[in-house]
Amino acid sequence: MKDILQEIDALQHEINSYRPLNAHLLKLIKEYYKIGLTYSSNALEGNSLTESETKIVLEDGITIGGKPLKDHLEAIGHADAYNHFLTLINNKTISENNIKYLHKLLYFRIDDKNAGIYRKNKAIITGSKYPLPRPDEIESLMKKFISTIDNIRKEKHPVEAAALIHKEFVFIHPFIDGNGRLSRLLMNLMLLQESYNIANIPLITRREYIESLEKSHINDKDFIYFIARMVRETQKDYLRLFFK
């Protein structure tokens, strides 16, 4: 683990050497990742839109024939949450209100009644052998989760901290839907707040991603290493696309 974190730090140092970015390039990068993260995060949850279709929906406002309305609404919702999440980077903190509002943006077009509201019903994760918290436990678990974020931030390397934030949030599973997407936004918010590159998780890695996350109920070593690899690969893509 130490070796990959050192490699990530070296890549981040190279990325930082190109800063500050001019306004045009910064806008280009933000838009590139809005499409990329929206596509990949939704695809991991079964959304059928391709990356090019996601781009058409978001940039042109055109619906894709034969694709479910819900898939379009998920794309628009994730893009709205992404736009808001960019405004939180300089805060160096993640609050409960931040989390609830990000979920509201993600989900209100699909289910306005439950957007930004902790679930009131029992939930399960298909394929997982571990039960999720009861609805009456969520409020206290989320308060505990929020209270530990700053300590995790101080005690762990930013990549490890981001992976742990992702894991802990998704294990609480506080909302009726959208928890996976929101956990990845929170992970990337932590990385950006600590001046690291985001981690984009491509659909092709879905099986490894889910299996390592499931294993992290007992030991989170594999999951943290998986997230570190995703950060490293996203860093390499960033350098290749924009500076080489």
pTM attached to this predicted model: 0.96
Catalytic option among 72, 103, 157, 173: 173
Annotation marks residue 173 as catalytic: yes
Q: What is the pLDDT of residue 125?
A: 87
Q: Is 43 helix (H, G, I), strand (E, B) or coil?
A: helix
Q: Number of C-alpha atoms within 13 angstroms, CB side, residue 23?
A: 0
Residues of the chain with pLDDT under 70: none
Rounding to the nearest 10 degrees, give the CA dihedral for residues 116, 185, 208, 161. -110
Q: What is the pLDDT of residue 111?
A: 97
Amino acid in position 65: G
pLDDT tens for 93-121 read: 999 999 999 999 999 999 999 999 999 99
**Number of folded domains that form the chain:** 1
Rg (CA), the chain: 17
CATH of the domain at 64: 1.10.3290.10
Which structural domain range is residue 83 located in?
A: 2-243
Q: What is the pLDDT of residue 124?
A: 87
Q: What is the pLDDT of residue 126?
A: 83
Q: What is the pLDDT of residue 52?
A: 97
Q: What is the pLDDT of residue 118?
A: 98
Q: What is the pLDDT of residue 90?
A: 93
Amino acid in position 164: L
